[in-house]
Amino acid sequence: PTARPRPPWELLARCHRATEFGPAGVRVTAVSPGPVRTEAAEAIPGDRAALMDGTDAHGRAGDPGENAGVVSFLADPAGSYVNGAVLLADGGEPSALPA
Protein backbone atom coordinates (compact mmCIF):
# COMPACT_ATOMS: atom_id res chain seq x y z
CA PRO A 1 0.00 0.00 0.00
CA THR A 2 1.11 3.54 -0.66
CA ALA A 3 0.82 6.43 1.75
CA ARG A 4 -0.02 9.07 -0.81
CA PRO A 5 -3.54 9.88 -2.02
CA ARG A 6 -4.53 9.33 -5.62
CA PRO A 7 -4.42 12.63 -7.50
CA PRO A 8 -7.30 13.50 -9.83
CA TRP A 9 -5.29 12.97 -13.04
CA GLU A 10 -4.57 9.41 -11.94
CA LEU A 11 -8.25 8.74 -11.52
CA LEU A 12 -9.00 10.28 -14.93
CA ALA A 13 -6.40 8.11 -16.63
CA ARG A 14 -7.62 4.93 -14.96
CA CYS A 15 -11.31 5.62 -15.41
CA HIS A 16 -13.33 5.59 -18.59
CA ARG A 17 -11.38 8.37 -20.34
CA ALA A 18 -8.99 5.92 -21.98
CA THR A 19 -11.81 3.88 -23.49
CA GLU A 20 -13.83 6.99 -24.27
CA PHE A 21 -11.11 8.66 -26.34
CA GLY A 22 -9.21 5.56 -27.51
CA PRO A 23 -11.29 5.04 -30.67
CA ALA A 24 -10.31 8.56 -31.77
CA GLY A 25 -6.62 7.68 -31.40
CA VAL A 26 -6.20 9.62 -28.17
CA ARG A 27 -4.31 7.94 -25.34
CA VAL A 28 -4.91 8.98 -21.74
CA THR A 29 -1.90 8.47 -19.52
CA ALA A 30 -0.37 10.17 -16.52
CA VAL A 31 3.01 10.36 -14.83
CA SER A 32 3.07 10.32 -11.03
CA PRO A 33 6.41 11.79 -9.95
CA GLY A 34 8.01 11.64 -6.56
CA PRO A 35 10.06 14.50 -5.11
CA VAL A 36 11.99 16.32 -7.85
CA ARG A 37 14.96 18.59 -7.27
CA THR A 38 14.11 21.84 -9.07
CA GLU A 39 15.13 25.47 -8.66
CA ALA A 40 11.86 26.09 -6.84
CA ALA A 41 12.57 23.20 -4.47
CA GLU A 42 16.07 24.54 -3.80
CA ALA A 43 14.53 27.90 -2.85
CA ILE A 44 12.56 26.34 0.02
CA PRO A 45 13.88 27.94 3.22
CA GLY A 46 15.81 26.05 5.85
CA ASP A 47 16.31 22.31 5.74
CA ARG A 48 12.90 21.59 4.24
CA ALA A 49 14.40 21.02 0.77
CA ALA A 50 16.69 18.38 2.26
CA LEU A 51 13.62 16.45 3.38
CA MET A 52 13.17 15.33 -0.24
CA ASP A 53 16.33 13.25 -0.04
CA GLY A 54 15.95 9.85 1.52
CA THR A 55 12.24 9.47 0.78
CA ASP A 56 12.75 6.92 -1.99
CA ALA A 57 14.69 3.74 -2.65
CA HIS A 58 17.54 5.75 -4.23
CA GLY A 59 17.96 8.02 -1.21
CA ARG A 60 17.71 11.15 -3.32
CA ALA A 61 15.19 13.37 -5.05
CA GLY A 62 14.68 12.93 -8.76
CA ASP A 63 16.10 15.06 -11.52
CA PRO A 64 13.66 16.83 -13.86
CA GLY A 65 15.32 15.10 -16.82
CA GLU A 66 14.43 11.71 -15.38
CA ASN A 67 10.73 12.56 -15.46
CA ALA A 68 11.13 14.10 -18.90
CA GLY A 69 12.40 10.73 -20.13
CA VAL A 70 9.22 9.04 -18.91
CA VAL A 71 7.07 11.64 -20.67
CA SER A 72 9.17 11.28 -23.84
CA PHE A 73 8.56 7.53 -23.81
CA LEU A 74 4.81 8.09 -23.56
CA ALA A 75 4.90 10.56 -26.47
CA ASP A 76 7.11 8.28 -28.59
CA PRO A 77 5.70 5.54 -30.85
CA ALA A 78 7.45 3.06 -28.52
CA GLY A 79 4.85 3.96 -25.88
CA SER A 80 1.89 3.83 -28.25
CA TYR A 81 0.30 0.80 -26.61
CA VAL A 82 0.28 2.41 -23.15
CA ASN A 83 -3.20 3.72 -22.43
CA GLY A 84 -5.27 4.24 -19.29
CA ALA A 85 -2.14 3.94 -17.16
CA VAL A 86 -0.29 5.94 -14.56
CA LEU A 87 3.47 5.48 -14.71
CA LEU A 88 5.22 5.96 -11.38
CA ALA A 89 8.42 7.97 -11.65
CA ASP A 90 8.95 8.23 -7.93
CA GLY A 91 12.26 6.45 -7.42
CA GLY A 92 10.54 3.65 -5.53
CA GLU A 93 9.19 6.07 -2.94
CA PRO A 94 6.56 3.73 -1.42
CA SER A 95 9.15 0.97 -1.04
CA ALA A 96 11.24 3.28 1.13
CA LEU A 97 8.44 3.67 3.68
CA PRO A 98 8.94 1.85 6.97
CA ALA A 99 7.25 -1.55 7.08
Domains of the chain: 8-91 (3.40.50.720)
- Supply the pLDDT for residue 2: 44
Mean pLDDT of successive 10-residue segments in the chain (99 residues)? 56 74 89 84 72 72 90 95 88 65
- For residues 86 and 25, what is the distance between their CA atoms, to the nearest angstrom? 18
Which residue type is seen at 71?
Answer: V
Give the global pTM: 0.70
What residue type is 48 in one-letter code? Answer: R
- 19 sits in which H/E element: helix 17-21
In whole angstroms, give the CA distance from residue 88 to residue 36.
Answer: 13
